[in-house]
Amino acid sequence: MNKCRNRLKAILFPIKMHENCKFAHYIIRITLNPLINFMEVENLKKVFLCLFTLAFIFSINVRALADGDHSKNIKQATENFKNGSSNDQAEDNAGMYHDNGSDMEGMDHDSGSDMEGMDHDNGSDMEGMDMEDDSSGAAHDHHAAVVETPPNYKVLGTYGAVNLVFILIGVWNKWFRRKGDLNNGNA
Amino acid sequence: MAMPEKNLPEKEPFDLLSIPVVKKFVKSKWYPGIFQWIVIFVFSIIVYELVIGTVDPSKNFGTTMTWVLWWPIIPVLFLVTGRFWCAICPFGKLSDIVRKFVGSKRPMPKFLRKYGIWLIDLFFIAITYSDHVWGIVESPRGSGYLLLLLVTMVVATSVFYERRTFCKTLCFLGGLAGNYSRSGALKVQATPDICKTCKVQSCYKGSEGVEGCPMFQFPRTMESSAECNICGNCVKNCPNNSVKITTRVPTKELWGLKNPKLEHASLAAVIMGIVFVQNITMLEPWQNILSAIGSVTGTSSYVVNFTIAFIIAMALPILLLLGTAKLASLLGMEGSIKKNFTRFGYAIIPLDLAGHLAHNLFHIFTEGKAVWFNSIRLFGVDSNPASLSLAPTPTVQMIQYIVILIGLVGTSYVVYRMGKNKNTAFKAMLPYYVLMTVLAITNIYLFSLPMMHRV
């Protein structure tokens, strides 16, 4: 029993606790070290079982969940891309799906490399796509029309104020507190 | 009679300071000042444009300079010049200025000294994560606020603490810079025979005109280039001309490390995961992956599903490396799994570098003209170019494959040298060779798929 407990202790508390920084040490302890110890002891069967389970879950074909016809566009884009389609072809494709004038005012990124044929307007913009709500994906929407917004002076002012406070602390510290200390002979 | 190869004296590395003009320049006040002022000037324009200029990322000078130009070339800089970028980094210069005028120069807190590198790793992961969740890269305002946040952190640490505490313990790029610089071709080193008679140690303490090492390094005992900025302060301060700036074979430091650390090895593995994430989120199968995760989690929330994908991508290289360490020990490798994990984690660094570079080459080659057009836009020259591309996609892909292959060669060579140093049998090394090859093939596969643009 004691042996078992000691073994468990060795797994859960692999490094001696430092005097300070207990929190940081705790973070390390609960992340990497148990993992390493887990690999050290004879638990490989469980590891492989987990890996196989994960592999099984992710091998299930879930393409049916994609948004309907849209996947065809992506497949077409991929095919075009792999065939090394020419710029002309690519531009044709771009024209097919960017026909509402939202493609960055003529800044066509050499469409051979621009995910040809993808309809960016029906939620297919891959990076940063918001599966919950289209309206929140403005920052991610690569080729959507950009609505110019004025600078946010509140945020900028806050940054300025915080930095100014730090500078003032520095000024007080260096030019008043320390000089006062020097004058009092406390240097 | 010819000498046996083993008995030949090791070739003396080339000292850049043996060139009189270079030595004069490094010792002058112009180095690295002239570069610092140029960079801080450009940085000011970038921040201004990001927070005040257009919100269209493809037309914003700040976005293109930061994410299309700077971010792709940074790994090349680390590889060629070590951590020289950190010497001329605008945040570093800002820290120097703040410390000079209002710094109270207290010693670095114990907590930061001990766990700084973990904080760096954490910040790096947090920034990458938040970029994907809030779209910092695509949003000029987001990028601007991120830079301002870093400025605030620099000001705060510089007001209170000595030297470059921020760069050493908090800068999100610090871990990446350190790891990549280990593969770098430049190294600062002191001559032990000269240093042992030195009584002043001004390289560390500083002299009247020049501050001591801003990165808290002592050149005499410095074994790694990971924390040397090549700022030249030690060269300027040394009264005995002991310090050299030498060239070396890239990646050489990786296989000769005397004290490998778990945090560096973990970061190397995590960076590989981040490169995967960066690639996958710009690729065609990304939507399918999100849907697959969504079907498991039962939610369509992007944040939730992305977080899970992100964690898996981070954990995967770590788990693979751990599994490989276990397998290698089963095949007869000496040392504990933790020790082998730590040692061979460094071997991933060349592949990390190659993956990072290859991914960003896509952006610089296919969006590179934006740098020029957005620069001239600052002077009122508005243009609507037909294309932003510098090279066709197949060419870019070919370059990406070559870069990954070079990375694989570098990584495999490091693994080979690490094994050779410990006289490890090939059988025990085999799992590492296989792992590195699998990582390289995965990268190549990802680069073969169509990718989205950044701006």
- Over residues B155-183, the pLDDT tens digits come to 999 999 999 999 998 898 888 888 899 98
Instruction: Name the residue of chain A whose CA is nearest to B133's CA.
Output: A128
Asked whether the beta carbons of A63 and A71 are under 8 A apart, the reply is yes
- Over residues B15-35, the pLDDT tens digits come to 999 999 999 999 999 999 999
Alpha-carbon distance of B152 to A159, in angstroms, equals: 7
For chain B, report the end-to-end CA distance as a whole number of angstroms: 65
Sort out which chain B residues have CB atoms less than 8 A from A109's CB and list them: 366-367, 387-389, 453
Asked whether the beta carbons of A117 and A76 are under 8 A apart, the reply is yes
Taking Cα atoms as reference points, which of B113, B138, B120, B158 lies closest to residue B50?
B138
Asked whether the beta carbons of B245 and B87 are under 8 A apart, the reply is no
Strand partners, B243: B190
DSSP state of B323: H
Alpha-carbon distance of B66 to B150, in angstroms, equals: 14
Whether the predicted pLDDT of B395 surpasses 60? yes
Whether the predicted pLDDT of B367 surpasses 60? yes
Across chain B, mean pLDDT equals 88
- pLDDT given for residue B243 in this prediction: 93
- pLDDT given for residue B126 in this prediction: 87
Whether the predicted pLDDT of A121 surpasses 50? no
Q: What is the dihedral of CA B225, B228, B232, B237, to 10 degrees?
A: -100
- What would the mean pLDDT of A5-29 be, rounded to a whole number? 52
Pick the most confident of A106-120, B135-149, B278-292, B440-454: B135-149
Across chain A, mean pLDDT equals 53
Query: Omega into B4 within 30° of 0, i.e. cis?
Result: no
**Across A20-34, A115-129, B405-419, least confident range:** A115-129
Q: Which member of B55, B282, B288 has the closest CB to residue A66?
A: B288
Farthest CA pair distance, chain B: 77
Asked whether the beta carbons of B346 and B254 are under 8 A apart, the reply is yes
Pick the most confident of A86-100, A156-170, B115-129, B380-394: A156-170
Quote the radius of gyration of chain A (alpha carbons, Å): 30
Yes or no, beta carbons of B148 and A104 under 8 Å apart: no
Instruction: Name the residue of chain B whose CA is nearest to A65's CA.
Output: B291
Tell whether A164 is within 8 A of chain B (Cβ): no
Yes or no, beta carbons of A110 and B151 under 8 Å apart: no
Helix (H, G, I), strand (E, B) or coil at A45: helix
Alpha-carbon distance of B323 to B439, in angstroms, equals: 14
Q: Which member of A82, A131, A159 has the closest CB to residue B301?
A: A131
Question: Residue A183 is encoded by which pair of tokens?
Answer: 């004058």
Domain range list for chain A: 2-60, 67-137, 150-187
Yes or no, beta carbons of A104 and B56 under 8 Å apart: yes
Yes or no, beta carbons of A132 and B296 under 8 Å apart: no
Q: What is the dihedral of CA B68, B69, B71, B77, to 10 degrees?
A: 160
Return the residue in B114, B115, B446 with the most chain A beta carbons within 10 A, the one to mutate for interface testing.
B115
- pLDDT given for residue B452 in this prediction: 66
- pLDDT given for residue B39 in this prediction: 95
The number of distinct structural domains making up chain B is 2
**Across A84-98, B6-20, B59-73, B370-384, least confident range:** A84-98
Q: Give B212-216's long-range contacts (Cβ < 8 A, gap of 24+).
A: B212/B163, B212/B237, B213/B163, B214/B92, B214/B96, B214/B163, B214/B164, B214/B167, B215/B86, B215/B163, B215/B164, B215/B167, B215/B168, B216/B108, B216/B163, B216/B168
Confidence class for position B369, pLDDT limits 50, 70, 90: confident
Neighbours of B214 (CB within 10 A): 22
Listed residues B182, B210, B226: the one ending a domain: B182
Yes or no, beta carbons of A146 and B389 under 8 Å apart: no
Yes or no, beta carbons of A39 and B452 under 8 Å apart: no
Per the structure, the complete domain to which residue B278 belongs is given by 257-447
**Across A78-87, A165-174, B255-264, least confident range:** A78-87
Instruction: Name the residue of chain B whose CA is nearest to A144's CA.
Output: B56
- From B258's Cα to the closest Cα of chain A, the distance in A is 21
- Over residues B313-362, the pLDDT tens digits come to 888 999 999 999 999 999 988 888 899 999 999 999 999 899 889 888 88
Percent of chain B with pLDDT over 90: 43
Listed residues B167, B182, B197: the one ending a domain: B182
Alpha-carbon distance of B455 to B439, in angstroms, equals: 28
3-state secondary structure B78-135: HHHHCCHHHHHCHHHHHHHHHHHHHCCCECCCHHHHHHHHHHHHHHHHHHHHHHHHHC
- From B35's Cα to the closest Cα of chain A, the distance in A is 25
Interface of B with A in 164-223 (CB under 8 A): none
Q: Complex ipTM, two decimals? A: 0.84
Sort out which chain A residues have CB atoms less than 8 A from B102's CB and list them: 167, 170-171, 173-175
Q: Which member of A60, A129, A151 has the closest CB to residue B52?
A: A151
Tell whether A166 is within 8 A of chain B (Cβ): yes
**In terms of domains, do B278 and B419 share one?**
yes
Chains A, B: CB contacts within 8 A come to 206
Pick the most confident of B46-50, B71-75, B289-293, B372-376: B46-50
Asked whether the beta carbons of B53 and B140 are under 8 A apart, the reply is yes
Sort out which chain B residues have CB atoms less than 8 A from A169's CB and list them: 159
Asked whether the beta carbons of B229 and B213 are under 8 A apart, the reply is no
Q: Supply φ then ψ for residue B187, to 5 degrees.
A: -145, 135
- pLDDT given for residue B455 in this prediction: 54
3-state secondary structure A145-171: CCCCCCCCHHHHHHHHHHHHHHHHHHH
Instruction: Name the residue of chain B whose CA is nearest to A133's CA.
Output: B301
Position B213 in a domain? no
- Over residues A50-71, the pLDDT tens digits come to 655 555 544 444 333 333 333 3
**In terms of domains, do B276 and B164 share one?**
no
Confidence class for position A45, pLDDT limits 50, 70, 90: low
Tell whether A167 is within 8 A of chain B (Cβ): yes
Confidence class for position A29, pLDDT limits 50, 70, 90: low
Yes or no, beta carbons of A107 and B384 under 8 Å apart: yes
Position B207 in a domain? no
Return the residue in B52, B55, B262, B279 with the most chain A beta carbons within 10 A, the one to mutate for interface testing.
B55
Interface of A with B in 32-71 (CB under 8 A): 32, 35-36, 39-40, 44, 47, 57-58, 60, 62-63, 65-67, 71
Interface of B with A in 230-249 (CB under 8 A): none
Instruction: Name the residue of chain A whose CA is nearest to B320's CA.
Output: A51
Identify which has the larger pLDDT, A136 or B331.
Answer: B331
Identify which has the larger pLDDT, B52 or A132.
Answer: B52
Whether the predicted pLDDT of A83 surpasses 50? no
Whether the predicted pLDDT of A160 surpasses 60? yes
Sort out which chain B residues have CB atoms less than 8 A from A129's CB and list them: 287, 290, 302
Alpha-carbon distance of B60 to A56, in angstroms, equals: 45
Yes or no, beta carbons of B135 and A128 under 8 Å apart: yes
Alpha-carbon distance of B192 to B242, in angstroms, equals: 8
Question: Residue A148 is encoded by which pair of tokens?
Answer: 């110019």
Q: Which member of A20, A132, A167 has the closest CB to residue B110?
A: A20
- pLDDT given for residue B299 in this prediction: 86
- pLDDT given for residue B324 in this prediction: 94
Whether the predicted pLDDT of A100 surpasses 70? no
**In terms of domains, do B176 and B263 share one?**
no
Confidence class for position A161, pLDDT limits 50, 70, 90: very high
- What would the mean pLDDT of A124-131 be, rounded to a whole number? 36
Whether the predicted pLDDT of B403 surpasses 90? yes
- DSSP 3-state helix, strand, coil percentages of chain B (rounded to 5)? 65, 5, 30
**In terms of domains, do B40 and B175 share one?**
yes
Q: Which member of A40, A127, A130 has the closest CB to residue B452?
A: A127
- pLDDT given for residue B80 in this prediction: 92
Whether the predicted pLDDT of B55 surpasses 70? yes
Sort out which chain A residues have CB atoms less than 8 A from B387's CB and list them: 87, 108-110
- What would the mean pLDDT of B358-367 be, rounded to a whole number? 85
Interface of A with B in 76-135 (CB under 8 A): 77-78, 81-82, 84, 87, 104-110, 112-116, 124-132
**In terms of domains, do B264 and B156 share one?**
no
Query: In Å, what is the CA distance from A128 to each residue of A15, A77, B89, B150, B448?
Result: 40, 19, 30, 24, 21
Position B137 in a domain? yes
**In terms of domains, do B297 and B439 share one?**
yes
Where does residue A139 fall: left (phi above 0), alpha (psi -120 to 50 degrees), or beta otherwise? Answer: alpha
Listed residues B160, B182, B204: the one ending a domain: B182
- pLDDT given for residue A58 in this prediction: 46
Position B412 in a domain? yes
Yes or no, beta carbons of A130 and B114 under 8 Å apart: no
Neighbours of B422 (CB within 10 A): 13
- What would the mean pLDDT of B295-301 be, rounded to a whole number? 86
Q: Supply φ then ψ for residue A29, to 5 degrees.
A: -65, -40
Identify which has the larger pLDDT, A36 or B237.
Answer: B237
- pLDDT given for residue A6 in this prediction: 62
Q: Which member of A32, A62, A107 has the closest CB to residue B388?
A: A107
Whether the predicted pLDDT of B8 surpasses 70? no
